[in-house]
Chain A
Amino acid sequence: DAKTTQPNSMESNEEEPVHLPCNHSTISGTDYIHWYRQLPSQGPEYVIHGLTSNVNNRMASLAIAEDRKSSTLILHRATLRDAAVYYCILRDSDLGGPLVFGKGTRLSVIA
């Protein structure tokens, strides 16, 4: 079973920041937090990952709570191309490489 909880859907206006929340209250100390997204009719694509500290890359930022029980993916300026299903995934040392996808959050971006 997926160990994360995300809202089913969210909506954002174009060019506004978007904060996508994820709860993972049973996270263990060695679990990495990964975010992937799936654009319509495409395979999933990597967005960002982190362990304890906040992370930034060209696509997004990842804010991780101090107790690591939740995290937030931040898209600084949503574009129409960001409309996708966003998956928050924990990767643990027991499972290793495979990604365990939950239902994710479907993000709609309004022009």
Chain B
Amino acid sequence: DSGVTQTPKHLITATGQRVTLRCSPRSGDLSVYWYQQSLDQGLQFLIQYYNGEERAKGNILERFSAQQFPDLHSELNLSSLELGDSALYFCASSVDGGLTDTQYFGPGTRLTVL
């Protein structure tokens, strides 16, 4: 158990819909990361927050957005869903987001878009 929790575990929805994935970081961790894992693209970094502020952006689509709240939990919002958005979405947290920081990953949310 990494200490990072993600809800829900599974999500099945239809194309065009909007969903919200939630992540609670480990106690004391200020940085939160979102990653997407699909069969064809592998594990890809989407976005990082540090203490409520966006710190780094990766291959995140404009239809996707995220935020980190004052209690440090984070939400990833996916809208206008397409079949290709079906994937595993992982959240990770670390103490300060530095180069030697260990990232602790949650169990993931499996999104299926029908």
CB distance from B22 to the nearest CB of A (A): 15
* Contact, CB under 8 Å: B90 / A99: no
B48 part of interface (Cβ distance < 8 Å) = yes
Complex Cα distance, B43 from A45, in Å, reads 13
CB distance from B48 to the nearest CB of A (A): 6
Interface size in chain B (residues, C-beta < 8 A): 29
**Segment from B12-20, B69-77, B101-109 that makes contact with A:** B101-109
Complex Cα distance, B103 from A100, in Å, reads 12
**B107: which of A43, A91, A92 is its contact (CB, 8 Å)?**
A43
Chain A residues with CB under 8 A of B56: 95-98
Which partner residue on chain B sits nearest A91 by CB separation? B99
Write the residues of chain B forming the contact surface with A, with a CB cutoff of 8 angstroms: 2, 4, 31, 33, 35, 42-45, 48, 50, 55-56, 58, 90, 92, 94, 97-108
- 6 cross-chain CB contacts under 8 A: A46-B104, A97-B48, A99-B33, A101-B35, A101-B43, A101-B44
Write the residues of chain A forming the contact surface with B, with a CB cutoff of 8 angstroms: 30, 32, 36, 38, 42-46, 49, 87, 91-93, 95-103
